[in-house]
């Protein structure tokens, strides 16, 4: 009977430890997820951000590719596993964004490319409000019009 009394607290303790471990992991993941941080930072600056969903673009090797709207304008977010991978893809883009990985690019609107940590962000357009929000959060564009 004494053994049964010791098992219950041990199981409860194990469950608490597992829950705390999961919570710490989840909080840490949220802190380091650059995509989520970008959305949060944009919203904190006053931008209207809408999550559209996943996006596929063959020119970027990022494992996470998202389509969002800022002030109703499409913005594409590419999140890499590390800064080095983002830098490698960024190095394949010419300063005016007319070439990407050796291919000639024809844009239907002026391209603006930003890079910060594990992110490359692409905005096609000329909405100054969107450009200002992106520059406030990501800094100056590294390529584009």
Same domain, 44 and 97: yes
| Token pair recorded at residue 95 | 């300063």
Same domain, 38 and 6: no
Same domain, 68 and 15: no
Q: Work out the percent of the chain whose per-residue pLDDT is above 70.
A: 77
Q: What is the pLDDT of residue 56?
A: 80
Same domain, 98 and 88: yes
Average pLDDT over residues 3-8: 61
Average pLDDT over residues 10-29: 55
Mean pLDDT, the chain, rounded, equals 85
- Length in residues, the chain: 145
Same domain, 79 and 103: yes
**Placement of tokens 């596993």 in the chain:** 81
Burial class of residue 77 in the structure, from the number of CB atoms within 10 Å of its CB (0-12 exposed, 13-18 middle, 19+ buried): buried
Q: From the centroid of its chain, how far is CA 37?
A: 7
Task: Output the pTM of the full model.
Answer: 0.76
Same domain, 87 and 128: yes
Average pLDDT over residues 54-68: 84
Average pLDDT over residues 86-91: 95
Same domain, 21 and 80: no
Please give the residue range of the domain that contains residue 7.
Answer: 1-32
pLDDT of 27 over the 50 cut = no
Same domain, 59 and 45: yes
Same domain, 12 and 70: no
Same domain, 19 and 55: no
Task: State how many domains the chain has.
Answer: 2
Same domain, 124 and 75: yes
Assign 109 a pLDDT band (cuts: 50, 70, 90): very high
**Placement of tokens 């584009």 in the chain:** 144
Q: What is the pLDDT of residue 9?
A: 62
């Amino acid at each position: 009977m004494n053994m049964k009394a010791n098992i219950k607290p041990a199981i409860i303790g194990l469950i608490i430890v597992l829950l705390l471990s999961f919570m710490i992991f989840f909080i840490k993941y949220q802190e380091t997820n650059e995509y989520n941080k970008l959305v949060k930072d944009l919203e904190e600056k006053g931008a209207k951000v809408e999550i559209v969903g996943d996006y596929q673009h063959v020119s970027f090797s990022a494992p996470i590719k998202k389509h969002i709207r800022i002030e109703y304008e499409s913005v594409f977010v590419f999140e890499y596993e590390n800064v080095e991978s983002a830098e490698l893809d960024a190095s394949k883009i010419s300063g005016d964004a007319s070439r990407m990985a050796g291919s000639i690019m024809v844009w239907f609107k002026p391209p603006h490319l930003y890079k910060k940590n594990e992110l490359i962000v692409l905005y096609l357009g000329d909405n100054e409000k969107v450009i200002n929000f992106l520059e406030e959060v990501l800094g100056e564009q590294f390529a584009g019009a």
